Amino acid sequence: MAAAAQSVSLQLDGNIFKAVGASAGRLTVYAGNGDVPPLAGTTAVEKGAVVFRPVFPLAAGVRYRV
């Protein structure tokens, strides 16, 4: 039996990061480049997406990595 490829789309919806098409897992988000700690926040599965809500608001002009 072969495994089927799953299509996942990463999205930023306001202050919330979403992995649409993912049904389980964890999103880890980083601010900026280099060896930095991940953002504090919560991860949940909601309506066919893994959702990450940061504790603090996102800042304009900062590059985020998921």
- Locus of tokens 């909601």: 46
Give pTM, 2 decimals. 0.83
* Residue of higher predicted confidence among 23 and 4: 23
pLDDT band for position 48 (50/70/90)? confident
Q: Per residue in 14-32, pLDDT tens?
A: 999 999 998 888 889 999 8
Residues 6+ apart with CB under 8 A from 36: 30
Q: Would the pLDDT of 41 be above 80?
A: yes
